Structure 1
Amino acid sequence: MCGICCSVSFSAEHFSKDLKEDLLYNLKRRGPNSGKQLVKSDVDYQCLFSGHVLHLRGILTVQPMEDERGNVFLWNGEVFSGIKVEAEENDTQIMFNKLCASENESDILSLFSEVQGPWSFIYYQASSHYLWFGRDFFGRRSLLWHFSNMGKNFCLSSVGTQTSGVANQWQEVPASGIFKIDLKSTAISGCVILKLYPWKYISEENVMEKYVNSLTQISAELPTFVSVVANEARLYLENPIVPLNMMLPEAEVEMQCKNNSSISPTRDTFKVFLTDQHMKKVVQQFIDVLSIAVKRRVLYLARDKNLAPKEVLQTSNRKANVAILFSGGIDSMVIATLADRHIPIDEPIDLLNVAFMTKEKNKPTSFQEERSKTKYLCEVLSEGVSNNDDSSYNVPDRITGRAGLKELQTVNPSRIWNFIEINVSLEELQKLRRTQICHLVQPLGTVLDDSIGCAVWFASRGIGWLVTQDDVKSYQSSAKVILTGIGADEQLAGYSRHRIRFQTLGLEGLNKEIAMELGRISSRNLGRDDRVIGDHGKEARFPFLDENVVSFLNALPIWEKANLTLPRGIGEKLLLRLAAVELGLTASAVLPKRAMQFGSRIAKMEKNNEKASDKCGRLHIS
């Protein structure tokens, strides 16, 4: 993971040898292991490249990279599949070698079509004066652009900055494909023309018109001297996932989904589903593909291979290489269980559980009442509440987190599970939002972005209390890789709006909602989360958004993924719940969806009368 930036000037009076101090500071936080700047000048323009590397695999490769022909490459990505990268190799070097060997545009597009994994990049092609850049299909890595001085300057960067009293000018580069700018012609014309090479399904028609039309609104928000156009050759990137299966069931299948409201959310209920051999096979296939995705994300990092056998056994002093954003909910529980399969047994796993101080004394029964039918679940959760804690941090996610820890300890008692209680006061929240977090959440700016951005920032920072049976001590997670469950709700109908859409428009409406969710995840979630987690010199990894996992889920008919005629705690994310039961999980398999901003109680700390979609003034520097 890296902080990458390219500042381009078309006027000699704006040429510079350094980035602005605040932007450089934010980039350095993303890449603490190496930093370098490189200037490439032409008669008509100057490019200032800045690269800051978080070293995770292979040999530490300093960025920006430059070859003998003057080509320059900045890469913020991970090649998990598609392109062969040996364990001891660095994917930045592999990608740059292949780019430099590309003879034409088609070769470049073929290369990025093959890569499986998250990425954003900037590539300067010296001989043609082209600047290529873009994000992966899901937008799992942040990239922003900023145009200024009537076309005399523009900047591409992993993260932006805010200036007091100045409207934010940074925008997220759309994850619509790869863009190319002809720097020479831009310098002459004074107009910035962004040529788009969009993602396309092989069978899809009119893709160029669709994407250019979708960028009309973005173009309207850009300065008048910036335009987005289709590339003349009508070239495209091959979509890395299969299209969503929009099939609707036959009448008798739909009838089987009726009159299910009386079913109780218990583990035995899921056992009945698993007596269907077809469903059991689908569940196992899902477990297999998700397990491979988790494996790739926990093994692609450097580990200490020089420990003597006696040292290996002394696990109490070992540091975790992998952490999980952990609420004890179904998404994080399944990820933790699968990570346990692949991470060396002598290596701890950090479970990062964040809670924001509540003024009123927490009442665990208040969130259990909504599932009063589930007596078994209530008993498990109440057992997880410690008697000697500050009750102001006993928020719902803390209680389910502790219960989830007990389940994981039962699944594998040999593993050291570091449950990190991260407690955030109102004073600390307001101070760090103002000094740091607001720069990262921007250019997004709603109340929801504020709540989730702050919660994820504090959780991924990993500073809290390590709570064991015998002791409580301060702890800071050293894990460079953080796994998160984002993508499960979007694909498996986990949100309440999915249930509302199903109730009003049926399965056809639900299919369209899921397609829309996946289509907007780059602009709604992932750039923000990458900026927030990356600010700690850590890398976010998203197993549910692995290309093979998404393709597997996209290929299934909707009724094999969710059944929203069933009650909460069963119907939403049904496939994932069945997988959890097969993996040996218990109470967590029937936990209803609870959004992070409510489970961590950050949404209750300040103004309670706000809507999630409202603009959040707290994110702006006045």
Structure 2
Amino acid sequence: MCGICCSVNFSAEHFSQDLKEDLLYNLKQRGPNSSKQLLKSDVNYQCLFSAHVLHLRGVLTTQPVEDERGNVFLWNGEIFSGIKVEAEENDTQILFNYLSSCKNESEILSLFSEVQGPWSFIYYQASSHYLWFGRDFFGRRSLLWHFSNLGKSFCLSSVGTQTSGMANQWQEVPASGLFRIDLKSTVISRCIILQLYPWRYISRENIIEENVNSLSQISADLPAFVSVVANEAKLYLEKPVVPLNMMLPQAALETHCSNISNVPPTREILQVFLTDVHMKEVIQQFIDVLSVAVKKRVLCLPRDENLTANEVLKTCDRKANVAILFSGGIDSMVIATLADRHIPLDEPIDLLNVAFIAEEKTMPTTFNKEGNKQKNKCEIPSEEFSKDVAAAADDSPNKHVSVPDRITGRAGLKELQAVSPSRIWNFVEINVSMEELQKLRRTRICHLIRPLDTVLDDSIGCAVWFASRGIGWLVAQEGVKSYQSNAKVVLTGIGADEQLAGYSRHRVRFQSHGLEGLNKEIMMELGRISSRNLGRDDRVIGDHGKEARFPFLDENVVSFLNSLPIWEKANLNLPRGIGEKLLLRLAAVELGLTASALLPKRAMQFGSRIAKMEKINEKASDKCGRLQIMSLENLSIEKETKL
């Protein structure tokens, strides 16, 4: 995870030696391990590169990196497959070495077509005056752009700013392919032309599947002096996943349990599906490919075994390197179970469980071995990132937090402890008051969610920000203690609902348009996931100097699921708690999970109780007034108040 930025100016009067303070601060939040800026000037333009690195693998490589020919590279990504990166190597340097040896645009496209993993990048080719940039196929890493001063400057950045003058100008770079700008010709033409190298899939039958986003769609919200055009050579990136299997059954499907549509879901019903030999094979293949995806995402990390003997002796207990956004639902339970397979057994795993409550006091209640309720005097974590805590008064039993995700989270914890009793599972109860939510939305979160601006974006963005911050309590038999998760990697289950028909809208579409309509809905979900979810979640989680990783969106996982016919992934003739994400539920049973395999889908905003916490009569799709960017004057007042 890194914060990367390139500010380009075409007018000497706008040349600058540094980024604006607020943008620089936001970028540094993402990359706490090194910060560096680099200036590249030509007669007619100036590029200011700024990079802030979160070190996770190999040797710490400070960015921007520059070669002897003056090429500059900024990389915010992880290479999990496609290009070989040894455990002791850093993927930034490996990829830059390949890029520096590329002789033409075709070789650059071939290189990025091979990379599997999340990424966004900025690459300056000094000899040709080209600036390349883009995001991976799913848009798992954020990259924003804004164009200003009538074409005299533009900026690319992992994150934007929260000053009112800039707010509406920041937009997400579409995950439509790679973009290239000829900086020298821009000065001459006085207009910015973005050449697009789109994603395409070519089948064995030479059938080309075009990219979803058209040039006109991309250009729609850009200023008049910016245009997006197809690249002159008609070159493209190869899509990293196979197309969705749109096949429909030749005859009406026979369900194994045709008479259970109104029966509550039970484990016995799922067991019936496991008697089918073919289905059992598909389930095992799914477990295998998802397990490998999780393994890639939990092993590329510096661990205690890399320390010297003296350093290890000084460490009184192992710290968690991996955390999971954890509701106790099927997605997070399966990820946790698979993570347990690959993370060293003496290393804890943090389970981050967030709840929003109206009461100011947010201390949990626990039980002793005899089952009697205990009042625990504990320290409430500070609203900021400091580890200092302030003493809290004794809580009363009726203020015990019991939002839906907390209840299922605790039940899920018991299941995981039964599956892997030797593992230390840190169940982190993160309780957020109305006051804390409103204050930190204003000062830290609103600009991370934007340019997205709906009520739904506000709810999910705030919930993910507080959860991934990881400040809460550990509840154990011996009592309650304050805790802050310092795990740099945060696993999330996003992508499961989109691919396995987990949302209620999938059931509505199926009921009105059948399997064909359901297939189209899933295709649409995958096509828009970059703009709807992933950029926002990357910005929100990255603000804590942590990296979001998405096992369900691993290229091999998506290709496997795309290859299956829809009826092997979901059966919406069956009731909630079974029919949606059927394949994942069956995999959970095979992995030894119990009650969680039958939990119906519950959206994070409802499970954490942030939805409608502040305003009851609003819809998820409404524009959210709470996300309005503060003026500079208000920000100054806010900062003075903190002091």
The CA deviation string for residues 157-206 of structure 1, in whole angstroms up to 9 with x for no partner, is 00001223665210000000000000000011111000000000013767
- Secondary structure in 2 matching 1:19: coil
Q: Is residue 150 of structure 1 aligned with residue 150 of structure 2? A: yes
Q: Is residue 596 of structure 1 aligned with residue 580 of structure 2? A: no
1:264, distance to aligned residue in structure 2 (A) = 3.0
Letter in 2 for 1:42: D
1:102, distance to aligned residue in structure 2 (A) = 0.4
Q: TM-score, normalised by structure 2?
A: 0.90
Q: Supply the distance in 2 between the matched residues of 1:577 and 1:419 (Cα, whole angstroms).
A: 23
The CA deviation string for residues 269-289 of structure 1, in whole angstroms up to 9 with x for no partner, is 111110111111110110000
Contact 2:54 2:545 in 1 (8 A): yes
Q: Is residue 222 of structure 1 aligned with residue 202 of structure 2? A: no
Contact 2:201 2:208 in 1 (8 A): no
- Secondary structure in 1 matching 2:60: coil
- Secondary structure in 2 matching 1:604: coil
Contact 1:357 1:392 in 2 (8 A): no
Q: Supply the distance in 2 between the matched residues of 1:115 and 1:189 (Cα, whole angstroms).
A: 34
Indicate the structure with greater helix content: 1
The match for 1:380 is: none
Contact 2:202 2:209 in 1 (8 A): no
Q: Supply the distance in 2 between the matched residues of 1:361 and 1:437 (Cα, whole angstroms).
A: 22
Contact 2:510 2:518 in 1 (8 A): yes
C-alpha spacing 1:93/1:253, structure 2 compared with 1 (3 Å) = same
Q: Supply the distance in 2 between the matched residues of 1:7 and 1:13 (Cα, whole angstroms).
A: 14
The match for 2:298 is: 298
C-alpha spacing 1:197/1:391, structure 2 compared with 1 (3 Å) = same
The match for 2:621 is: 613
RMSD: 2.2
- Secondary structure in 1 matching 2:113: helix
The match for 1:287 is: 287
* Mapping 1:354-365, distance limit 5 Å: 354-358=354-358
The match for 1:76 is: 76
The match for 1:426 is: 434
Q: Supply the distance in 1 between the matched residues of 2:373 and 2:361 (Cα, whole angstroms).
A: 14
The CA deviation string for residues 131-168 of structure 1, in whole angstroms up to 9 with x for no partner, is 00000000000000000000000000000012236652
Letter in 1 for 2:298: V
Q: Supply the distance in 2 between the matched residues of 1:108 and 1:567 (Cα, whole angstroms).
A: 49
- Secondary structure in 2 matching 1:602: coil
Structure 1 window deviating more from structure 2 (389-398 vs 298-307): it is 389-398
Q: Is residue 160 of structure 1 aligned with residue 178 of structure 2? A: no
Structure 1 window deviating more from structure 2 (6-15 vs 262-271): it is 262-271
The match for 1:584 is: 592
Contact 1:359 1:392 in 2 (8 A): no
C-alpha spacing 1:385/1:288, structure 2 compared with 1 (3 Å) = farther
The match for 1:416 is: 424
For structure 1, the residue ranges without an aligned partner over 5 or more in a row are 363-383
Q: Supply the distance in 2 between the matched residues of 1:97 and 1:538 (Cα, whole angstroms).
A: 26
1:308, distance to aligned residue in structure 2 (A) = 8.2
The match for 1:136 is: 136
Q: Supply the distance in 1 between the matched residues of 2:398 and 2:468 (Cα, whole angstroms).
A: 22
The CA deviation string for residues 209-250 of structure 1, in whole angstroms up to 9 with x for no partner, is x65x62413312110000000001110000000110000012
1:360, distance to aligned residue in structure 2 (A) = 13
The match for 2:194 is: 194
Q: Supply the distance in 1 between the matched residues of 2:21 and 2:310 (Cα, whole angstroms).
A: 47
Q: Supply the distance in 2 between the matched residues of 1:306 and 1:85 (Cα, whole angstroms).
A: 18
Number of residue equivalences: 600
Q: Supply the distance in 1 between the matched residues of 2:373 and 2:215 (Cα, whole angstroms).
A: 52
1:469, distance to aligned residue in structure 2 (A) = 1.6
Q: Supply the distance in 1 between the matched residues of 2:17 and 2:426 (Cα, whole angstroms).
A: 45
Q: Supply the distance in 1 between the matched residues of 2:623 and 2:373 (Cα, whole angstroms).
A: 38
1:263, distance to aligned residue in structure 2 (A) = 3.8
Q: Supply the distance in 1 between the matched residues of 2:234 and 2:531 (Cα, whole angstroms).
A: 25
Q: Supply the distance in 1 between the matched residues of 2:283 and 2:38 (Cα, whole angstroms).
A: 50
The match for 2:410 is: 402
Q: Supply the distance in 1 between the matched residues of 2:513 and 2:256 (Cα, whole angstroms).
A: 18
The CA deviation string for residues 457-511 of structure 1, in whole angstroms up to 9 with x for no partner, is 0000000001112120000001000000000000000000000000000000000
Letter in 1 for 2:544: H
C-alpha spacing 1:360/1:77, structure 2 compared with 1 (3 Å) = closer
The CA deviation string for residues 103-144 of structure 1, in whole angstroms up to 9 with x for no partner, is 111110001000000000000000100000000000000000
For structure 2, the residue ranges without an aligned partner over 5 or more in a row are 363-370, 376-396, 631-643
Contact 1:450 1:619 in 2 (8 A): yes
The match for 1:553 is: 561
1:390, distance to aligned residue in structure 2 (A) = 5.8
The match for 2:178 is: 178
Letter in 2 for 1:564: L
1:315, distance to aligned residue in structure 2 (A) = 9.5
Query: Structure 1 residue runs of 4+, over 4 Å off?
Result: 204-208, 254-259, 306-316, 358-362, 384-390
The match for 2:331 is: 331
1:349, distance to aligned residue in structure 2 (A) = 0.2
Same amino acid, percent of matched pairs: 82
The match for 2:511 is: 503
Letter in 2 for 1:228: V
Q: Supply the distance in 1 between the matched residues of 2:295 and 2:374 (Cα, whole angstroms).
A: 37
Q: Supply the distance in 1 between the matched residues of 2:524 and 2:243 (Cα, whole angstroms).
A: 12
The match for 1:535 is: 543
Q: Is residue 565 of structure 1 aligned with residue 579 of structure 2? A: no
Contact 1:123 1:132 in 2 (8 A): yes
The match for 1:366 is: none
